[in-house]
Structure 1
């Protein structure tokens, strides 16, 4: 194989997906790996995982990096100027990219899922929440370190906190207790607290708490007041950040696309989506039918003037992405 390939990569806080197609959009290879966030611990493990996902996708496609006409990376952890420099240099070297790749923050790449010009605001709700904006002049705003936690981790963590506050008679009872005891096979709130804090093999703070997000959304939809308040607060934070992004790019005051993506927003309840939109009611919600990895691939295609068949790519994929 000599040339004619595109590479798109979406790397989040829990996993990385890589996709290889030809210039027409025929899916040739896919590859998965672990966290891509260079801020999760130190950069090295994330760089290894991103590289591994790309190598797996290229191997599945029967090609190599030298066959790539373009590559684009949508990455958690691409936050500050030095992050972009590190990622550009290291990924080019480690993967063997023949030309400089496109690298964007994971709050920016998903905009390409919503529109060809990538204009608007995106909120991607996964383990955490990536939020970013781009206006018609090409100006971009995003942060990687928002002050308040959002996403599945925040929903789950707030849900567990509500359970333990009730255990101490500091908060009202909630149906979340029964859901948590069932999920972790425990007999009481105190027993559950022990599971999360014991010295031998306590559960990882992020992944375990994020796992509880679906139950919080379930109980909120069923009418539990405590759970509803959690969803309102967590969704409101994401909505506030989306409004900040819109303001910083001069898009407030007239309708603009609000691209909403991520595994948490695939939950059937509308409560979280509504809580986000309530903070920016002038926005027009857009729910793309493709995942961020496809958005990254389309960004790569844009750099060489290719027009891959978006629908064909969508129909060929069966990934279920649970996080940003």
Structure 2
């Protein structure tokens, strides 16, 4: 009897589901909006799960009872107290197969690490980092920004600090000032700072590409900010590496998130920090949808070794998505 496996990636902006068979052939893909319970509540999580799973199953021509196992990566599932409400939400969609739920960073790790273990560092609006050793012992950071920097939000905060330092003469002049004034419409630095304080202007992590643009133009302040972010991400990774005790092993650090589109400007400082403590570690960009890791997690729940199927699953998923209307 063939086996069918469901992977689900519930995110803060979008959610994905993928169904594959026991040969690693991707059969059906579904998309939905946000499902992070911190944003939409557990009822919103249940709704996202129901919708995205139904879409993937319909695309695959299968029903829930045909599934052999399911793996879920859930954004917002960070702490033991959230496990039962998360499992209750999964239970509400009516699966009878074995399931497992992890933080969504973990399925990014599974999708990106060829050995099925290592460390994943997310750098989007914020940052997160989780790791598994060979025995699935877990290492992690808080994931809520307490002492963890390097995401787009903190990068923009550093840019604003640099602009303020120019005004107070604590720091040098920077081309970041002119760019941020132009985008907000503020006439000068005091007006910008006052507008931010009074709620006239709102500057988010969405401005991070602007910092990159200014750095590429040769601005030393912008360049130093991006390098700082890379080092911070590196220190986040080494914290988890130490927790797992894998400093002397060869493993992959999977880079997940849009901030890595800045390329070597941010990745090279990160690499230097990591390899100073884990010389055999290699950094790899995640090149497949994280939901692939959900399918691999599902396979593990019934004793299937997913590693031999991983590459084929990634390729077949890419082919499936290319055919999508």
| TM-score, with length taken from structure 1 | 0.81
Alignment partner, residue 33 of structure 1? 33
CA 1:26–1:247 in 2, change beyond 3 Å: closer, same or farther? same
- 1-structure distance, mates of 2:113, 2:167: 48
Alignment partner, residue 213 of structure 2? 218
Q: Does 1:97 align with 2:95?
A: yes
Q: Please list, as runs of the form range in 1=range in 2, the aligned pairs for 1:104-253 lying within 5 A after superposition.
A: 104-143=102-141, 144-145=143-144, 146-184=146-184, 187-190=187-190, 192-193=192-193, 196-198=196-198, 203=202, 208-253=203-248
Q: Deviations over 1:219-254 (max 9, x none)?
A: 223322221222222222221121111111110134
Asked whether the equivalents of residues 98 and 301 of structure 2 are also in contact (C-alpha less than 8 Å), the reply is no
Q: Does 1:276 align with 2:270?
A: yes
Helix, strand or coil at the partner of 2:245: coil
- 2-structure distance, mates of 1:11, 1:223: 39
- 2-structure distance, mates of 1:12, 1:102: 17
| C-alpha displacement of 1:138 | 2.3
Larger Rg computed on CA atoms: 2
- 2-structure distance, mates of 1:139, 1:8: 21
For these two proteins, the number of residue pairs brought into alignment is 309
Alignment partner, residue 322 of structure 1? none
- 1-structure distance, mates of 2:162, 2:47: 38
Structure 1 range deviating more: 100-109 or 189-198: 189-198
Asked whether the equivalents of residues 127 and 148 of structure 2 are also in contact (C-alpha less than 8 Å), the reply is no
Alignment partner, residue 321 of structure 1? none
- 1-structure distance, mates of 2:46, 2:185: 36
Structure 1 range deviating more: 52-61 or 250-259: 52-61
Asked whether the equivalents of residues 221 and 271 of structure 1 are also in contact (C-alpha less than 8 Å), the reply is no
| TM-score, with length taken from structure 2 | 0.81
Asked whether the equivalents of residues 217 and 231 of structure 1 are also in contact (C-alpha less than 8 Å), the reply is yes
Consecutive unaligned residues of structure 2, counting only runs of 5 or more, are none
Consecutive unaligned residues of structure 1, counting only runs of 5 or more, are 319-324
- 2-structure distance, mates of 1:67, 1:161: 55
CA 1:219–1:90 in 2, change beyond 3 Å: closer, same or farther? same
1:296 pairs, out of 286, 294, 297, with 294
Asked whether the equivalents of residues 107 and 290 of structure 2 are also in contact (C-alpha less than 8 Å), the reply is yes
| C-alpha displacement of 1:15 | 3.1
- 1-structure distance, mates of 2:2, 2:186: 56
